[in-house]
Structure 1
Amino acid sequence: MTQRLPPSLTPLDTALAALLRGVDPVTPIELPLAEATGCIAAGMPLLPACPPRDIATVDGWALRANDLVGASSYSPLPLTTLPTWVEAGDALPLGCDCVLDVDAVEASGPLAHVLAEGVPGQGVARAGRDIAENAPAAAAGCPVGAAALLLARVAGVDKLSVRRPRLRIVNVPDATATMQMIASLARAAGLDASAHEAVSRDAASIAETLDLHACDLLLTIGGSGVGRADAAVAALAQRGVQFNHGLAFQPGRTAAAGRLGNVPVVALPGSPAQALAIWLALVLPLVDRLSARQPRRAVTLPLGRKIASSVGIAEIALLAQEHETWMPLAVGEWPLQAVARADAWLLIPASHEGFAAGEPVDAYLMRE
């Protein structure tokens, strides 16, 4: 059966601009390290140098390299005092800049002979080698990943300042798999996501679930079409949401996008592929604005095969990386097996007829 569409379709660019209008980054909050993972860094604390001073990285004798010039087993260098023995991790004594192995110094009572030269920094970790003085754990606007958490833990920091927008997801019955996918994507993007199930598919039940308390972004999943059981759009209207229903975009033409007061609202179709496309094209830009995220990095490769697109409808192509090219997997309509194989996605503007084989294109990775 051919899917019925809303009577008019809003250009994707128009819908996105309306969603982003007046949206500002959320206020930063401090979170324990485990909870900050995936969130966007904001005003990171400046870390102390690590190590705070030169330390030994091996067990051995702490000495000054300039004092050891010419020392060898054939020409031992006598020392007036026994050098200091250090263990790995010990701070280097003042004036020392190298650590020699145990057999490089021959000690007999208070007398000692050096049997090898040393070079500055040998067996030594310089102050600030692992973490420079006043370095941030992560750059502002970047996701907090494993490396940032490692730096924070090594420096003894237990909380990080991040932006974590609050997302409310309302699921229309029979779209649970799609809701779970979107919730996983949201949490991976650093959102504080809560999912709620409407009691039934009627508009009144869905409207009761559209609570915007402590919410920076609202998504509904399913019920966005024009069939008799598609009541999510009617529920949004009941709550006073000003929205555009139907987008000149494929896949996901039956989606709706609008505002309830200052809160952006997006109604995603119940189909997993269509919901994912709307997530990439409309929701991710909103998340990035709310999080003050730095621009996402595109990967440029030539196309392994041409992509044809219809003028007047924006489309997303799914791509797989093959032999240093982007190979198109699906355009407009997405089989789930293509979604599973995709490495990246490419937005084709409504004014564009597509791309020729061999033409370099900028694609965004599905998993960063």
Structure 2
Amino acid sequence: MTQRLPPSLTPLDTALAALLRGIDPVAAVELPLIEAVGCIAAGMPLLSAYPPRDIAAVDGWALRANDLVGASSYSPLPLSEPPVWVDAGEAMPAGCDCVLDAGAVEMAGPLAQVLAEGVPGQGVSRASSDIAERSSAAAAGCLIGAAALMLARVAGSERLSVRRPRLRIVNAPGATATMQMIAGIARAAGLDASAHEACARDATSIAEALDVSACDLLLTIGGSGVGREDAAVTALAQCGAEFTHGLALQPGRTAAAGRLGRVPVVALPGAPAPALAVWLALVLPLIDKISARQPRRRVTQPLARKIASSVGIAEIALLAEEHKTWMPLAVGEWPLHAIARADAWLLIPASHEGFAAGEPVDAYLMRE
């Protein structure tokens, strides 16, 4: 049986609202630092101050700046007692507030004289200057990157609290390039993505791979159209999924979205362009909710030229940044070279006819 598109397409807003209804963020888990990178921060532990006390930032002589007033190579200042040498990272001796380079002090047996002045804090890392007491390695809802791990390691933390939604991708044979693209994007967005290939492109084979027992989100790739071998939507129906098929979105008309049990499911087209469009317009907002991500950043710039859009269907425009403007690359139909060049994307609502040249628009960045 071949699944056909419904007589009328479901508005994007309607499909998205249904997909998000009743969805809560996944539970946070604590992971070792090495496993937390790339996950979404959740209720991060408060870090200890670093350095915990004043330490030497450079190798040199630890001294008190007020004792060095007037010292120079022309007027060496004798010291009443030898200074203390410190290596970078060592605690500053009591009463010392600066570190002078090795050549700034001359030693002649037990006698020492200073050849330069110092200022308080010179060559010193103050207590809490790198990490403030009870600060966080990363803001909740943000991806944990190398900088956050560095802060956690320096502060002595061993584990971080994160959210990492589990994504299962089922690929209908023939859409491998699209599947690999979506899997890569998903992992970059903080998901634990696993990809699975159906044994064949028939409904039974695809249905056998639709296991939602260990995932928070299910995607199928390919087989969502009306061709004789497009069986993904039929497989979802056989498994008891409740969904709408056919979106008022261009590209991406043949996508489907709904639930398989309690798990959200989205059937992406097999071609890269419509699959990416549905990912941006439908899947990303869902990921934002289940991972409690912070709102994605939008950049406002004027359009370099106008964008025309058809009323009645939402369209996505790909944009490139040129001289502090957004240059439209493609609208509705996307050649692959436009995807490769795009810096941002713009959702044009179904009720909108487009935008005039020079009009400021809010675009989402392709890479955050």
TM-score range, shorter chain: over 0.9
- Segments of structure 2 that go 5 or more residues without pairing to the other structure are none
Mapping for residues 132-151 of structure 1, pairs under 5 Å:
132-151=132-151
1:361 Cα offset (Å): 0.7
Report the CA distance between 1:165 and its aligned residue. 0.3
Taking the aligned partners of 2:298 and 2:62, their CA distance within structure 1 comes to 50
Cα distance, 1:151 vs. partner?
Answer: 1.4
- SS of the equivalent of 1:96 reads coil
Q: What amino acid does structure 1 have at the position aligned with 2:315? A: E
Match of 1:197 in 2: 197
User: Percent identical across equivalent pairs?
Assistant: 82
How do 1:162-241 residues align onto structure 2 when only pairs under 5 Å count? Answer: 162-241=162-241
**1:112-123 alignment, distance < 5 Å:** 112-123=112-123
Q: Using the TM superposition, give the Cα deviation of residue 33 of structure 1 relative to its aligned residue in structure 2, in angstroms.
A: 2.6
Matched, 1:244 2:254: no
Given that residues 5 and 245 in structure 2 are in contact (C-alpha distance below 8 angstroms), is that contact kept between their aligned partners in structure 1? Answer: no
Give 3-state SS (helix, strand or coil) of 2:30's partner: strand
On the 8 A contact 1:47/1:134 being kept in 2, the answer is yes
Corresponding letter in the other structure for 2:323: H
Equivalences for 1:145-160 in 2 at 5 Å?
145-160=145-160
With 351-360 and 114-123 compared, the bigger mean Cα shift is at 114-123
- Mapped to 1, the partners of 2:362 and 2:32 lie a distance apart of 36
> Hey, what's the Cα distance between the residues in 2 that align with 1:129 and 1:6?
62
Determine the C-alpha separation between the residues in 2 that align with 1:361 and 1:324: 12
- 2:68 equivalent in structure 1: 68
Runs of 4+ in 1 over 4 A off after TM superposition: none
The equivalent residue for 1:360 is 360
- CA offsets, 1:161-209, max 9 Å, x none? 1100011111111111111111111111111111111112221221111
- Any conservation in 2 of the 1:258–1:264 contact (CA below 8 Å)? yes
Query: Using the alignment, how far apart are the partners of 2:40 and 2:354 within structure 1?
Result: 34
Kindly state the Cα deviation for residue 291 of structure 1 after the two structures are TM-superposed. Answer: 0.5
What's the counterpart of residue 306 of structure 1? 306
Structure 2 partner of 1:85 = 85
In 2, Cα distance between the equivalents of 1:46 and 1:201?
50
- Could you tell me how far 1:65 is from its partner in structure 2? 0.9
1:283 is aligned to: 283
* AA in 2 matched with 1:200: A
Report the counterpart of residue 105 of structure 2 in structure 1.
Answer: 105
Deviations 1:49-86 (A, max 9, x none): 22221111222211111222223334433322112111
SS at 1:10 equivalent: coil
SS at match of 1:157: coil
Q: Shift of the alpha carbon at 1:48? A: 1.9
Q: Are 1:267 and 2:267 matched, yes or no?
A: yes
Matches of 1:73 and 1:231, distance apart in 2: 86
Question: In structure 1, what residue type is equivalent to 2:313?
Answer: I
Gaps of 5+ in 1: none
Q: CA offset at residue 5 of structure 1?
A: 4.5
Give, in whole Å, the separation in 2 of the partners of 1:356 and 1:130: 48
In the TM superposition, residue 25 of structure 1 has moved relative to its aligned partner by: 0.5
Measured after TM superposition, the shift of residue 366 of structure 1 is: 0.9
* 2:36 maps to 1:19: no
Query: Are the equivalent residues in 2 in contact too, given 1:6–1:254 (CA < 8 A)?
Result: no
**SS at structure 2 position matched to 1:193:** strand
Task: Check conservation: 1:302, 1:326, Cα contact below 8 A.
Answer: yes
Take 1:306 and 1:120, find their aligned partners in 2: how far apart are those partners? 59
- TM-score normalised to structure 1 length: 0.96
Size of the aligned set, in residue pairs, is: 365
* Residues 1:51 and 2:51 aligned together: yes
Is the Cα–Cα contact under 8 Å of residues 41 and 139 in structure 1 kept in the other structure?
A: yes
Q: Provide the secondary structure at the position in 1 that maps to 2:252.
A: coil
SS of the residue aligned with 1:230? Answer: coil
Once superposed, what is the RMSD of the aligned Cα atoms? Answer: 1.4
Q: What code does the residue aligned with 1:87 have?
A: D
Q: Tell me, yes or no, if the aligned pair for 1:251 and 1:332 is still in contact at 8 Å.
A: yes
TM-score normalized with structure 2 length: 0.96
Partner amino acid for 2:10? Answer: T
Q: By how many angstroms is 1:340 displaced?
A: 0.9
Q: Partner of 2:169: helix, strand, or coil?
A: strand
